[in-house]
């Protein structure tokens, strides 16, 4: 009889204990799942953040539609400028006349600067310019390298008179015809410099006759 009472009293306690234990386990499982979800979400956010951080890419300027005449003039001007720099360097080292030597140095400085500006313009248009003088300038450089003294000075200045007479006319015509406004701005800025070179070349050449 006593055992039966004990069983009856113990049964509710056992039920309560089991219920409490199940509830505790359920709560623990819920907390663990939530923690796992938070961790996954955090990892996903980190992955997105990493993608955003490393996803930056640099792009080159997109090619700009330029008129064929504009391209041809720019390429010819670039080649001509490189030629003036090359020949100017030869004159700066080989000339015996002080005015000729100074003129050669001026060609290196002025045409080098103008060439850099033209190259910068071309880069904004996605357009590549020549990196070497044209064949005529290379031939002249070879011929001048074989001369020395007064013969070199006269040959170089005669070539500079001829080149700059032609350059002035070409730049004047291009200023009226080119369609790209930035190229026209460069031409209008460079033309007075070339006109000054032309005048100097004529003056020095006359002194050498």
Tens digits of residue pLDDT in 155-193 = 999 999 999 999 999 999 999 999 999 999 999 999 999
Residue 62 maps to a domain: no
Ramachandran class of 126: left when φ > 0, alpha when ψ lies in -120 to 50, beta otherwise: left
Residue 198 maps to a domain: yes
pTM for the complete prediction?
Answer: 0.69
Closest CA to 193 of 120, 117, 116, 107: 107
Three-state SS string over 10-67 comes to HHHHHHHHHHHHHHHHHHHHHHHHHHHHHHHHHHHHHHHHHHHHHCCCCCCCCCCCCC
Mean pLDDT taken over the chain:
80
Based on the fold, state whether residues 104 and 146 are members of the same structural domain: yes
Closest CA to 84 of 133, 117, 119, 122: 133
Based on the fold, state whether residues 103 and 199 are members of the same structural domain: yes
Higher pLDDT, 4 or 89: 89
Higher pLDDT, 200 or 33: 200
Residue with tokens 């050498």: 208
Residue 78 maps to a domain: yes
At residue 206, does pLDDT exceed 80? yes
Based on the fold, state whether residues 40 and 88 are members of the same structural domain: no
pLDDT at position 46: 41
């Amino acid at each position: 009889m006593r055992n039966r009472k004990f069983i009856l009293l113990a049964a509710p306690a056992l039920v309560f204990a089991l219920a409490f234990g199940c509830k505790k386990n359920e709560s623990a499982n819920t907390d663990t799942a939530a923690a796992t979800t938070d961790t996954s979400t955090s990892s996903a956010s980190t992955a997105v953040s990493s993608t955003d951080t490393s996803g930056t890419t640099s792009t080159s300027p997109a090619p700009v539609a330029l008129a064929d005449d504009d391209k041809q003039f720019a390429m010819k001007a670039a080649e001509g400028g490189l030629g003036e720099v090359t020949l100017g360097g030869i004159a700066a080292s080989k000339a015996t006349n002080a005015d000729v030597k100074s003129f050669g140095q001026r060609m290196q400085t002025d045409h080098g600067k103008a060439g850099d500006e033209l190259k910068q313009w071309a880069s904004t248009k996605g357009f590549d310019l020549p990196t070497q003088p044209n064949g005529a300038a290379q031939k002249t450089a070879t011929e001048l390298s074989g001369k020395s003294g007064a013969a070199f000075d006269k040959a170089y200045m005669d070539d500079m008179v001829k080149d700059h007479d032609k350059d002035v006319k070409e730049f004047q015509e291009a200023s009226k015809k080119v369609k790209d406004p930035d190229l026209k701005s460069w031409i209008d800025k460079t033309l007075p410099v070339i006109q000054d070179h032309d005048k100097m070349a004529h003056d020095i050449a006359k002194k050498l006759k």
